Amino acid sequence: MGDYAADISVIIPIYNVEKFLYRCLSSVACQTFKNYEVIMIDDGSTDNSIEIARRFSENFKNFRLVDNPVKGVANARNLGIMLAQGEYVAFVDSDDYVDPNYLLCLYEAIKQYNADIAHCNYILYHVDMGFLHSVKIKKPKAGVLPGMTMVRKTISDFHMRSYLWNKLWKKSLFTDNHITFPDMKFEDIATVAKLLYYAETGVMINRHLYYYTVREGSIVQTASFKSLSDYLLSFGMLRRFFIDNHEIQHLEFSFLRLALSMFAVNLYYLSRLHRQRRNARGYLRNIGISVKNILYFYSRKFNDAVDTDITLPYAFIEPENKNKDNTEPPS
């Protein structure tokens, strides 16, 4: 496998997804594009996931399974980029699946327009309800966008989102600019706009090629006070990057939209977390903490700071769990 020549490296972190993994890996194995490698990264699974992955590595010469010594999906992706031999990289979540033409269409678009990134539309697969919901990115007439236009659209969370998986990336965007994923939840929000900043152009194709699985237990469905803190922290990390690169004045409207979106999301999930614990105490205060953290990232103190170690100045107050059995049932 070490000598396998590939144009594209597909990176798949794996953690306890035995129910979905065969479908995921089968869809990647059946690509019409042929010159690619698949790097499956064991992120500490305790179920049968790794046995499934091992069978694919034994049956397909372009599949390999590696262990992630520093656990966490961000570290797994960083390891995948370090090991990738392709000129381009794609990221697939191990509970999702892709169209047979996923790699081919993205690769052809990148080559046709000499772009650094190619985006596709995607479909949400709701496991519990058993239906598909297509999501379409608004496509510009020419199909091509300059890097800073993609940055604005991505930060504002409008039409373009900070998703890794519906895109094909030129690997040098990571390696030449020393960009890695921070070890936190919502590491994609903290990273994608930075990559787009270094891109000359990106191309969007009007094809639904990625199937994203919405299920209980996924990161975006499992809220915690830690994940909400990371969500806000990603906002600060992005602002710090564009302040340091003297672009913040061109992006303030996009950041305002993101701030409002983040506040609305935090409002919903704070309500959900307090409801799960049957304890409303501290709810209004936690809403205030969300606002204070966002405002801090707009403050002169933050703008003038030279410390690159960004933290939240105000911590959420976790309420006591008042469920009789001390469990936290889903709301």
Q: Convert the pLDDT of each residue in 303-322 to its tens digit.
A: 888 766 889 999 999 888 88
219-243 average pLDDT score:
87
Do the beta carbons of residue 53 and residue 65 sit within 8 Å? yes
Confidence of residue 222 (pLDDT cuts 50, 70, 90): low
Do the beta carbons of residue 94 and residue 196 sit within 8 Å? no
Distances (CA, A) of 145 to 1, 77, 115, 256: 36, 26, 9, 22
Dihedral through CA 198, CA 201, CA 207, CA 213, nearest 10?
10
167-191 average pLDDT score:
95
Do the beta carbons of residue 53 and residue 42 sit within 8 Å? yes
Residues 6+ away with beta carbon under 8 Å from 34: none
Dihedral through CA 15, CA 20, CA 23, CA 29, nearest 10?
0
Kindly give the residue spans of alpha helices, DSSP state H, lying in 245-314: 252-276, 283-296, 300-303
Instruction: Compute the distance between CA of residue 29 and CA of residue 59 in angstroms, rounded to an integer.
Output: 10
Confidence of residue 69 (pLDDT cuts 50, 70, 90): confident
Predicted local distance difference test score (pLDDT) of residue 4: 64
Condensed to tens digits (0 to 9), the pLDDT of residues 136-151 reads: 666 555 589 999 999 9
Instruction: Compute the distance between CA of residue 33 and CA of residue 28 in angstroms, rounded to an integer.
Output: 10
Instruction: Compute the distance between CA of residue 91 and CA of residue 78 in angstroms, rounded to an integer.
Output: 11
Kindly give the residue spans of alpha helices, DSSP state H, lying in 60-146: 73-83, 102-113
Predicted local distance difference test score (pLDDT) of residue 159: 65
pTM of this structure: 0.90
Do the beta carbons of residue 22 and residue 52 sit within 8 Å? yes
Condensed to tens digits (0 to 9), the pLDDT of residues 95-125 reads: 999 999 999 999 999 999 999 999 999 998 8
Beta bridge partners of 40: 12, 65
- Out of 131-140, 207-216, 282-291, give the one with best mean pLDDT: 282-291
Domains in the chain, start-ordered, CATH in brackets? 8-214 (3.90.550.10), 225-303 (no CATH)
Confidence of residue 324 (pLDDT cuts 50, 70, 90): low
Predicted local distance difference test score (pLDDT) of residue 330: 46
Predicted local distance difference test score (pLDDT) of residue 214: 86
Calculate Rg over the CA atoms of the chain. 20
